[in-house]
Amino acid sequence: MNLAVFASGRGSNFSAIVKAIQQNEIRAKLRILVCDQPGALVIKRAQRAGVRVVLAKREDFSSRRDFETAIIQRLEEYRIDLIALAGFMRLLSPMFVKRYRKRILNIHPALLPAFKGAHAIKDAFDCGVGTTGVTVHFVDEKVDHGPIILQQKIKISAKDTLEILERKIHRLEHKLYPRAIDLFISGKIKSARSRRSSF
């Protein structure tokens, strides 16, 4: 199975996926990284891992549709079966989602449907909740929405700072995302509407 990762930033989840593939925990070929930020650290991570980089800058295209069409052309070129969003900071259009329905995964640093949005870790921390976590889900037309594949909880200790909580969340992401990707590849969640796990 051919996998594409979409990312815009540091790429720690990208590296976790690469490591899982190298250790045969994910039985797929990581064909391309799609990135919209030319200065993103994830590009260097991909180059070190020998993964081809597809750089698609939104400002190079006259419309969102043209931007996504160019990406789709590359996905078709590499015969991509599954897309893993790993900190890709652009919303995908309904057209794109429909084309790849049930073939786009996303990881979110909270227990959806709680704390949607780009600042989920800080929002949970500031809210003072005792528990947060990580969610892997299928992408649909709504933001941070779609059938849940895996969720795992993390307790927020009274001693935790925001930085400590961020590190705990990221460590969990690096374990949970490869697990969810492999579940998809093995066919165990192909038709599942929802699957939760506390592991």
User: Residue 199's pLDDT is what?
Assistant: 33
Q: Are residues 68 and 128 in the same domain?
A: no
Mean pLDDT of 38-60: 97
Q: Are residues 85 and 118 in the same domain?
A: no
Q: Are residues 161 and 179 in the same domain?
A: yes
Mean pLDDT over the full length of the chain: 94
Q: Are residues 118 and 189 in the same domain?
A: yes
Is residue 32 scored above 70 in pLDDT?
yes
Cα–Cα distance measured from residue 66 to residue 64, given in angstroms and rounded to the nearest whole number: 5
User: Residue 190's pLDDT is what?
Assistant: 56
| Nearest 10 degrees: Cα torsion 19, 99, 68, 135 | -40
Q: Are residues 93 and 136 in the same domain?
A: no
Q: Are residues 112 and 137 in the same domain?
A: yes
Q: Are residues 1 and 93 in the same domain?
A: yes
**Interval 165-177: pLDDT, tens:** 999 999 999 999 9
Number of domains, the chain: 2
Is residue 196 scored above 80 in pLDDT?
no
User: Residue 191's pLDDT is what?
Assistant: 38
pTM of the model: 0.92
Q: Sheet holding 131-138: strands in order across?
A: 52-55, 29-35, 2-7, 82-85, 104-108, 131-138, 148-155
- Give the domain range for residue 65: 1-100
Q: Are residues 47 and 73 in the same domain?
A: yes
Q: Are residues 61 and 19 in the same domain?
A: yes
Q: Are residues 3 and 91 in the same domain?
A: yes
**End residue of a domain, out of 100, 116, 132:** 100
Q: Are residues 112 and 47 in the same domain?
A: no
107-111, 134-138, 195-199: segment of lowest average pLDDT: 195-199
Q: Are residues 28 and 91 in the same domain?
A: yes
**End residue of a domain, out of 55, 77, 100:** 100
Cα–Cα distance measured from residue 182 to residue 199, given in angstroms and rounded to the nearest whole number: 15
**Interval 111-127: pLDDT, tens:** 999 999 999 999 999 99
**End residue of a domain, out of 54, 80, 100:** 100
51 touches 18 (CB < 8 A): yes
Catalytic residues: 108
CATH number at residue 154: 3.40.50.170
**Reported confidence tier of residue 189, pLDDT bands at 50, 70, 90:** confident
